[in-house]
Structure 1
Amino acid sequence: MPERLSAASPSLPHQAVSPFFDSSEPSLGVLNPDEGRRHFRLLRYAPAPELADFVRHYWVVEWDLTDSEPYLQEVVPNPCVNLVIEPGRTFFYPPSASRFAYLQQSRGKVFGVKFHPGGFYPFLGESLSELNGRPLPVESVIEASSSELEQALLTSDNEELIARVDLLLAQALPAADEESLLLRQIAERIAEDRELTKVDDVCRLFHIEKRTLQRLFSRRVGLSPKWTIRLYRLQQAAEALDRGGADGIRPKLQHLSSELGYHDQTHFIKDFKAVVGVTPEAYIHGSRT
């Protein structure tokens, strides 16, 4: 197990929290976000400063479809571990290369913790690739049971739940880890720099051997660097098709595929369909219906 900080019962300063997400923010993998906003509310919150090296943000999805038809929301996969708190399905979920679909019906709420790529590994201390996509019970990582967290989901407001999860993660907080910080820098650069389209480009930029990078991602992320690049680029492709350009017109597929590092449009369409589930053309028409 990873080394823990010495504080026996860390306490975090109480401070009001507020969401930092609005409709102008990137969808971060939520497919057809404009349609989704008509069915649910998505909020994102910053974690306590002590957790910021490990946790990207907290997220909350709330919906009330009591008088409406159920709604199926799909999300593009990402290279991050998520702790998801919802009745009957509270686990740490490792990264996946497949899209995720969630059926929202009646009335409900889900709370999540999105770790930075590689940010969960120090809490676990074991290779994420060996999980093979298998969800982890919360009791294996933090001092709380799934039933306790699910009860808190039902009885606490967002601020109270965030404060509780902040404390639980702080109690399990691992010692500082240089590899995790390096991996976060690499992942953030991949996510932000569309010109990074090949693993060799990443290796040159960060002065790291290709095999070393591949082992680092396999152990700490659970996906290869190649797949990590691909997921971010296809996420950006979906966002571009949702939003269109600055003038509101969707980019041409040939231009978009080239911008995202694909020299062959057929290859882009194949990858897009493998991750999103439909071709770009079908997604364009489906996202506006």
Structure 2
Amino acid sequence: MFGQGCGVLHHSLEPDAYRHTRYGPPAELARWVEHFWLEQWDLGGRAPQARVVLPHPCVHLVFAPGRSRCYGVQLKRFARELKDQGRILGIKFRPGAFYPFFHQPVSAIANSAVPAGQVFPNAGEGERRVLACSDDLAMVAAAAAFLSEHLPADDPNVGTVCDIVEAIAGDAKITRVEQLVARFDLQERTLQRLFQRYVGASARWVIKRYRIYDVLARLTAGEPIDWATLAQDMGYFDQSHLYNDFRKLVGCSPGQYLPSGS
């Protein structure tokens, strides 16, 4: 997936100043969690640095000192400024898998975040346990143990929604909601209701986000692109509409885009 799985558009930190590591979930959490991730940085007195991503349609529970949060789906680019030094751990939920923990439509926290304690009553204790660990694997184990204490009842809709999003991510030929309706034998109204409640964004938005990822992956690989044909293949009326969506999400035209690290 584009950007090492996290949609990185711009990353200005030197490798020795920044580390991002991912770990798969234990089997008992795999239905809920895509992966755990850790960030650690030490700028050593250098100026603050930017990290800009185009996030996947997922919710994250992030353990950070005194500011642990549950971050909803970010519908636009997400920019962070890193300064001084720090270490945080995040849990990336599978698309659609956060709703049973939240008990509210996930669309309610799109483009925003809520204190972790609003969702997990003992989040402060969880934060302390996770951040007190001295190494990555211990932090992941502490976060996994914390989440295991709060597992909800099985919800069959979670599997359905995860399957639909995985189909969108893995099949570049999916460009319209009608294709999902036919493939998964759902009424369009039911599909849209599931996405607003479980994913936090519309099915159409999720399709467009993953197709933009496909464009970014091709640009990053340096492949020659016939833009008129690509726009048509991705379900756009014409090339200009694809360019407009790309510019809105990425912040520049395809011709101006420079892969992270270039």
TM over 0.5: yes
Matches within 5 A, 1:179-190: 179-190=157-168
- List gaps (5 residues or longer) in structure 2: none
C-alpha separation in 2, matches of 1:171 and 1:224: 31
**Contact kept in structure 2, 1:95 and 1:133, CA below 8 Å:** yes
- What is the aligned partner in structure 1 of residue 221 from structure 2? 243
Residue pairs, 1:140-151, within 5 angstroms = 140-146=118-124, 149=127
Among residues 182, 194, 203, which one is paired with 1:225 in the alignment? 203
How far residue 51 of structure 1 moved from its aligned partner, in angstroms, is 0.9
TM-score (norm 1): 0.81
List aligned pairs for 1:1-289, cutoff 5 A: 26-32=4-10, 38=15, 40-66=18-44, 68-146=46-124, 149=127, 152-153=130-131, 155-245=133-223, 250-284=224-258, 287=260, 289=262
- Runs of 4+ residues deviating >4 angstroms: 286-289
Whether the 8 Å contact between 1:137 and 1:146 is mirrored in structure 2 is no
Residue 255 of structure 1 deviates from its aligned partner by 4.5
CA separation of 1:243/1:150 partners in 2, compared to 1, >3 Å: closer, same or farther?
Answer: farther
Give the superposition deviation at 1:226: 0.5
What is the rounded CA distance, in whole Å, between the counterparts of 2:110 and 2:72 in structure 1?
Answer: 8
Please identify, of 185-194 and 163-172, the stretch whose mean Cα deviation from structure 2 is larger. 163-172
What is the percent sequence identity of the aligned residues? 35
Distance 2:229 2:154 in 1: 42
Q: CA RMSD in A?
A: 2.5
Matched residues in 1 for 2:238 and 2:13: separation? 31
Go from structure 1 to structure 2 and tell me whether the alpha carbon gap of 1:259 and 1:62 turns closer, same or farther (over 3 Å shift): farther
Query: What secondary structure is seen at the aligned counterpart in 2 of 1:114?
Result: strand
| Matched residue SS, 1:117 | coil
Equivalent pair of 1:32/1:242 in contact (CA under 8 Å): no
Moved more, 60-69 or 50-59: 60-69
Q: What's the counterpart of residue 3 of structure 1?
A: none
In structure 1, distance between residues paired with 2:228 and 2:46 = 39
Q: Report if aligned partners of 1:214, 1:224 keep a CA contact under 8 Å in 2.
A: yes
Q: Contact 2:57 / 2:95 at 8 angstroms: preserved in 1?
A: yes
Cα deviation, residue 232, structure 1: 1.3
Q: How many residue pairs end up in the alignment? A: 261
Look up the equivalent residue of 1:215 and give its one-letter code: R
C-alpha deviations, 1:227-275, integer Å up to 9, x for none?
1111111122222212223xxxx53444443443334111111111111
Deviation for aligned residue 1:27 = 3.8
Q: Distance in 1 between matches of 2:228 and 2:260?
A: 19
SS at match of 2:113: coil
- Per-residue displacement from partner, 1:140-180 (whole Å, max 9, x unpaired)? 33253347516732543211111111111111111111111
Alignment CA distance shift 1:208-1:37 (3 Å) = farther
Cα pair distance change 1:206/1:64, threshold 3 Å: same
**What displacement does 1:70 show?**
3.0
CA distance in 2, matches of 1:288, 1:50: 36
Letter in 1 for 2:240: T
Task: Give 1:101 deviation, angstroms.
Answer: 0.6
Residue 119 of structure 1, CA deviation = 0.4
